[in-house]
């Protein structure tokens, strides 16, 4: 049983975070770094329990949950290192009696709202950067996955992170709107960092606009996965499996539509279907060998089912899968469709489930045009052995992240984020900490 916070608790958490911020920003970068490192060490020591919490609350296969915990902990490790590498600048202006300084200072309290699909990593990716910069946070986790956020709070406390620096306000979906509004409009909050759907992101952007707050938005995607004639089929299939079926298709960087050139189309579809049948096993996330867990809820299953039925009614062919799985109401069969066309829902609506629709194309220009027709642009993948084509396509795809002959691209060292309606700002990498820092120009005169 988890507390269901309302507006009153949310405001109290913001107040606690603000009071803690007044002290935390004075803590030396070295000390903040050391506390983050301790938090990281505790995550590693408790990684098995933390992984089991993820599987229990989201259904994610245990092996993937272990992977998420490492990925999540690595953000704390990375930002413990970055905490000590925040540099300012000195600028020489034409005035001989002055020096211009640029200071980097923590923004203040950050309101952090996270989704259920990576219940641990989506928190540390933001909170690691925020705490390293000297900010404090109020985290509202998703209704479906509050336990990972709370387990992180326990470990933060054990690590010696002062109370009020990392605050969690679990709340029901019923309260999410009001609680979200309370933390995102509170004058004591200076920054909103959100990962979730584009629809919710737009609501939070309105809150931010009304009180002029800094924002980071990691929103939905519609990743194209393009296979050109020159591609190595085996590599392309391995990449397709990884980018489509991780977390049962429920990641924002999951391939949403497969664009396959005519010359390689039949070989790719055949090999992809064989790999799906051979390597994917639907089941309970705790069972050894399960690669595909349940979807997060029945609504998610209904969405996949609706997309499949829509595509089939408009002429798509089911190569494998195509219906709900016999295991129960939250399961769907890994599904491959071919003869897919752009008038089908699955090509312009994020699926967030185990559905791989294949569109056949003839020219590079055609593939780029289909990929760039989306109003979002988070990740994109393509397979080609032609160096000139690789440069052209990598530069032309309207996305924030590109996988070239690679289906798994997330790494704490690299900037994560999207363009168009996929969001604003970047997380992770050396750039991630800037999202929590303000620049202050100091003109030092009379010299
Ligand atoms: P969602 O509905 O937007 O929920 C995300 C978070 O926002 C949850 O904590 C949710 O609370 C909360 N929320 C919902 N409505 C709110 C409101 N009006 N005010 C304040 N908070 C509100 O997203 P989702 O469908 O659960 O998550 C999947 C989406 O996240 C996909 O679109 C995916 O692409 C995106 N995503 C993006 C990234 C990225 O880095 N770009 C990473 C992962 C996921 P409740 O749980 O209580 O509803």
User: CATH number, domain at 129?
Assistant: 3.40.605.10
Cβ–ligand 1 distance for 378 under 6 Å, the answer yes
Mean pLDDT of all residues in 351-370? 98
187 and 328 together in one domain: no
- Phi/psi for 442 (5° steps) reads -115, 120
Do 151 and 32 lie in one domain? The reply is yes
Strands 223-227 and 255-261 turn out to be parallel
Distance CA 438, CA 440 (A): 6
Q: Does residue 116 line the site of ligand 1, with CB under 6 A?
A: yes
Convert the pLDDT of each residue in 51-69 to its tens digit: 999 999 999 999 999 999 9
Ligand 1 touching residue 252 (CB < 6 A): yes
Q: What is the DSSP string of 329-372?
A: TT-B--EEEES--TTSGGGTS---SSEEEEEEESSHHHHHHHHH
Categorize the per-residue pLDDT at 1 as very low, low, confident or very high, splitting at 50, 70 and 90.
confident
Residue 358 pLDDT > 90: yes
Same domain, 140 and 237: no
**Catalytic-role residue among 9, 68, 82, 218:** 218
406 pLDDT exceeds 90?
A: yes
Helices (H), 297-356: 298-313
Same domain, 257 and 192: no
Report yes or no on 414 lying in a domain: no
Residues 116 and 250 in one domain: no
So what's the pLDDT on residue 432?
98
* Torsion on CA atoms 126, 130, 135, 137, rounded to nearest 10: 20
CA 51 remoteness from chain centre: 18
**pLDDT tier, 291 (very low <50, low <70, confident <90, very high otherwise):** very high
pLDDT tens-digit map of 204-230: 999 999 889 999 999 999 999 999 999
Catalytic (active site) residue 81: no
Kindly report the average pLDDT of the chain as a whole number.
Answer: 97
The residue contributing the CA closest to ligand 1 atom 16 is: 177
Q: Which atom of ligand 1 is nearest to the CA of 416?
A: 40
* pLDDT at residue 177 greater than cutoff 90: yes
Average the pLDDT over 78-83 and give the result: 98
CATH of the domain at 383: 3.40.309.10
Mean pLDDT of the 116-136 span = 98
CA of 256 to the centre of ligand 1 (A): 18
Closest CA to 342 of 163, 209, 427, 222: 222
Residues 196 and 209 in one domain: yes
On whether residue 410 sits in a domain, the answer given is: no
Give 161's DSSP letter.
P
DSSP label of 433: G
Does residue 374 sit in the same domain as residue 232? Answer: yes
* Domain match, 192 and 257 both: no
Looking at the structure of the chain, the number of domains it has is 2
pLDDT tens digits, 300-338? 999 999 999 999 999 999 999 999 999 999 999 999 999
In angstroms, what is the span from residue 141 Cα to ligand 1's centroid? 9
- What SS3 class is residue 317? strand
The reply to whether 355 falls in a domain is yes
Pick the atom of ligand 1 nearest to 220's CA: 34
Shared-domain flag, residues 301 and 270: yes
Q: Map tokens 């994020």 to a residue.
A: 350
Dmax over CA atoms of the chain, in Å, equals 79
* pTM of the complete model: 0.96
Distance 143 CA to ligand 1 centre (A): 10
The minimum-distance atom of ligand 1 relative to the CA of 175 is: 47
The finding on whether 218 has its CB within 6 A of some atom of ligand 1 is: yes
Whether 413 is covered by a domain: the verdict is no
173 shares a domain with 52: yes
Q: How far is the CA of 197 from the centre of ligand 1 (A)?
A: 5
Q: What token pair was written down for 377?
A: 């642009």
Kindly state if the Cβ of 4 falls inside 6 Å of ligand 1. no
Looking at the fold, whether 373 and 249 belong to one and the same domain comes out as: yes
CA of 311 to the centre of ligand 1 (A): 26
The rounded distance, in Å, linking the Cα atoms of 81 and 93 is 33
Residue 203 Cα: closest atom of ligand 1: 18
Residue pair 240/225 in contact by the 8 Å Cβ criterion: yes
pLDDT tier, 103 (very low <50, low <70, confident <90, very high otherwise): very high
Residue 2 lies inside a defined structural domain of this protein? no
Cβ–ligand 1 distance for 353 under 6 Å, the answer no
340 is a domain residue: yes
Quick check: 285 and 62 in contact, CB under 8 A?
Answer: yes
Q: Are residues 203 and 242 in the same domain?
A: no
**Residue pointed to by tokens 């993948």:** 381
Mutation test residue for ligand 1: of 141, 169, 200, the one with most atoms within 8 Å of CB? 200
Cα separation, 246 vs 228, in Å, equals 23
Is residue 344 assigned to a domain? yes
Indicate which residue's Cα is closest to atom 27 of ligand 1. Answer: 196
Taking each helix axis from N to C end, the angle separating 146-159 and 29-45, rounded to the nearest 10 degrees, works out to 120
- Residue 189 · residue 183 · CB < 8 Å: yes
Are the beta carbons of 195 and 220 closer than 8 angstroms?
no
Name the residue of 5, 196, 221, 410 to mutate for ligand 1: max ligand atoms within 8 A of Cβ.
196
Question: How many Cα atoms sit within 13 Å of 51 on the Cβ side?
Answer: 18
On the question of pLDDT at 254 being above 90, the answer is yes
Centre of ligand 1 from the C-alpha of residue 198, in Å: 8
pLDDT of residue 245: 97
Is residue 139 in a domain?
yes
CB within 8 Å of 332: residues ≥ 6 apart: 295, 301, 304, 305, 321, 323, 324, 325, 353, 354, 355
Domain that holds residue 137: 7-219+422-445
**Nearest ligand 1 atom, CA 350:** 32
- Residues 15-37, mean pLDDT to the nearest whole number: 98
Please indicate whether residue 196, judged by its CB atom, sits closer than 6 Å to ligand 1.
yes
- Is the shortest distance between the CB of 221 and ligand 1 below 6 Å? yes
- Does the pLDDT at position 355 exceed 90? yes
Which of the four pLDDT bands, split at 50, 70 and 90, describes residue 265? very high
Closest CA to 428 of 174, 108, 122, 191: 122
């Amino acid at each position: 049983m988890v507390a269901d916070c309302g507006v009153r608790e949310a405001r109290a958490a913001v107040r606690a975070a603000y009071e803690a911020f007044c002290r935390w920003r004075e803590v030396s970068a070295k000390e903040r770094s050391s506390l983050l490192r301790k938090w990281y060490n505790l995550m590693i020591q408790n990684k098995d329990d933390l992984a089991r919490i993820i599987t229990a609350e989201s259904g994610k296969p245990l092996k993937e949950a272990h992977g998420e915990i490492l990925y999540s902990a690595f953000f704390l490790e990375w930002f413990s290192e970055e905490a000590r590498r925040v540099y300012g600048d000195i600028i020489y202006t034409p005035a001989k009696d002055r020096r211009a300084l640029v200071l980097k200072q923590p923004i203040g309290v950050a309101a952090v709202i996270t989704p259920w699909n990576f219940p641990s990593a989506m928190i540390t990716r933001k909170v690691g950067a925020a705490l390293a910069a000297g900010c404090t946070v109020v985290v509202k986790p998703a209704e479906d996955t509050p336990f990972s956020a709370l387990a992180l709070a326990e470990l933060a406390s054990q690590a010696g992170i002062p109370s009020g620096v990392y605050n969690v306000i679990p709340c029901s979906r019923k309260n999410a709107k009001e609680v979200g509004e309370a933390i995102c409009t509170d004058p004591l909050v200076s920054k909103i960092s959100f990962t979730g759907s584009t629809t919710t992101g737009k609501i939070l952007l309105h809150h931010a606009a009304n009180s002029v707050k800094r924002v980071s938005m990691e929103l939905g995607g519609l990743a194209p996965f393009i296979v050109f004639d020159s591609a190595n089929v085996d590599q392309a299939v391995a990449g397709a499996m990884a980018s489509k079926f991780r977390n049962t298709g429920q990641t924002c960087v999951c391939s949403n539509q497969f664009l396959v050139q005519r010359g390689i189309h039949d070989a790719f579809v055949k090999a992809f279907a064989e790999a799906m049948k051979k390597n994917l096993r639907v089941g309970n996330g705790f069972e050894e060998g399960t690669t595909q867990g349940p979807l997060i809820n029945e609504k998610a299953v209904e969405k996949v089912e609706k997309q499949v039925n829509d595509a089939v009614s408009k002429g798509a062919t089911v190569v494998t899968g195509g219906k709900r799985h016999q295991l129960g109401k939250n399961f769907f069969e890994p599904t491959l469709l071919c003869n897919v066309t752009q008038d089908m829902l699955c090509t312009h609506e994020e699926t967030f489930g185990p559905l791989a629709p294949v569109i056949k194309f003839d020219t590079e220009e055609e593939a780029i045009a289909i990929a760039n027709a989306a109003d979002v642009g988070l990740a994109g993948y393509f397979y080609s052995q032609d160096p000139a084509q690789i440069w052209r396509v990598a530069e032309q795809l309207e996305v924030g992240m590109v996988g070239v002959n690679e289906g798994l691209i997330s790494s704490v060292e690299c900037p994560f984020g999207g363009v168009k309606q996929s969001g604003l700002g970047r997380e992770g990498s050396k750039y991630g900490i800037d999202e929590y820092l303000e620049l202050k120009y100091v003109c030092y005169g009379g010299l």
